Amino acid sequence: MPKAENKGLLIFFYLCIAVFSVICFAPFVLAVSGSLSTESRIAAEGYSFWPRGFSLETYQFLFGSKMEQIVRAYAVSLTVTVLGTVSAVLVTTAYAYVVSVKSFRFRNVFAFFAYFTMLFSGGTLPWYLLSTKYYHLDDKLIGLIAPYLLSVFLMFLMTNYFRSIPHEIVESAQIDGAGHFRIFVRIMLPLGRVGVVTISLFYALQYWNDFYLPLMLVTDERLYTIQYLMYTMMANIQFLASGNAAQVGGAIIAPPLETAKMAMTCLTVLPIAILYPFLQGFFVKGIVVGSVKG
């Protein structure tokens, strides 16, 4: 057994991954350090890995009087993400199962029906008209969830995971007289757990990162999500900085621009950075259970 070759290759692998990870991590460090720097030093000297002129000014500016609003926005985001992910995973796995059943005569019809929407869309105007005037999704929590319940991309991904489940297991269940519901819930979902966890992760990210639905459908600030809040703040800070809104009568606040961008990145990535290891724990557990059964 060529052990030396194995070791060498492995060390090479570790090295590559480590280097790539460092490259991926660097900008995040820049962002954290940038958000803790003063605007003038950043503008003058550029980004660095260590805060330039350490200050919490940017966070004070961002939170300022808006603490309450930000906390509420986090709560809305969390609610939308949890409810959205659970419902979307149910809808998606069910649809994916249908497409993955090889004996189902119309599975291609269903696959095509879904795929077609990935390519063609009617644009925002009819979508907005239907969502607000006919489905009445404006200013409702469900409006932030329902439109994303079936991501066709993730549905196909799930189909792929389902297909990799050994077919014998399904067959023996069928011989035992199990129907589709039973197979889906008792066999496919547990055995496709790695896939389920993966698409859950992606759905969670999609819901967490979205600012489009709140922008389109929400006017009630109690339903603002954290991403939407960040998006509006960013759009408006850029406007303030462009000089159009310069004020004559009163106090002028020069908004921290570069540092604000960095702080907002931190504020949206941070919860994910904290949650991710837990999600991964779940991930790994799913894998262990999956492999034992397999």
**Footprint of another protein on residues 162-221 (CB under 8 A)?**
163-168, 171, 174-175, 179-182, 184-185, 192, 194-195, 197-198, 201, 205, 209, 215-216, 219-221
Rule CB under 8 A: which of 20-49 touch another protein?
20-21, 23-25, 27-28, 30-31, 39-40, 43-44, 46-47
Q: Which amino acid is at 126?
A: P
Radius of gyration of the chain (CA): 24
Nearest to residue 215, comparing CAs of 202, 198, 203, 231?
231
Q: Which amino acid is at 80?
A: V
Size of the site for another protein (CB under 8 A): 154
d(CA 70, CA 244): 27
**At its nearest, how many Å lie between another protein and the CB of residue 78?**
13
232 lines the binding site for another protein (CB under 8 A)? yes
Token pair in block for residue 146:
């329902």
59 lines the binding site for another protein (CB under 8 A)? no
Interface residue with another protein, options 81, 261, 263, 267 (CB under 8 A):
261
**Residue (74 or 110) nearer to another protein, CB:** 110
**Residue (36 or 101) nearer to another protein, CB:** 101
Token pair in block for residue 84:
């959205």
d(CA 294, CA 292): 5
d(CA 140, CA 6): 57
Would you say the C-alpha torsion 179, 181, 184, 186 has a positive or negative sign?
negative
**Residue (78 or 83) nearer to another protein, CB:** 83
Rule CB under 8 A: which of 105-134 touch another protein?
105, 108-115, 117-133
**At its nearest, how many Å lie between another protein and the CB of residue 59?**
16
